[in-house]
Amino acid sequence: MTAIDIRGPQGNAFALMGTAKSLAKQLGYDADEIVNEMMQGDYEHLLDTFEKHFPVVELIGRDEEDYDE
C-alpha cells in the first residue's frame, strides 16, 4: 500500500491534485474529472475525493485533529 503523509509537503492541496492526476493516468481514469471533483469543496472534500478514487493510498495524518491544511 502506498502512503502519503498529509502533515508534510505531500499533503498540500496542489501536491495531492498532482498525485491524483498522475495516479489517474496510470490507472486509466479520467484525471481531469477527478481533479475537478477534488476542487469542488474545501480541503476535507479534497481528501474525501482522493480517498474515494484511490482507496489503496493511505493518507497518514488524516485522522489527527491538527494537521496543516
> What is the signed CA dihedral for 48, 52, 55, 58, rounded to 10 degrees?
-10
Choose between 66 and 46: higher pLDDT.
46
Q: For 12-56, how does the pLDDT look when each residue is reduced to its tens digit (9 = 90+)?
A: 999 999 999 999 999 999 999 999 999 999 999 999 999 999 999
Whether 68 has a pLDDT exceeding 60, the answer reads no
C-alpha R_g of the chain: 11
| Cα 17-64-62 angle, rounded to 5 deg | 25
Which pTM value belongs to this model?
Answer: 0.88
Lookup: cell for 68: 496543516
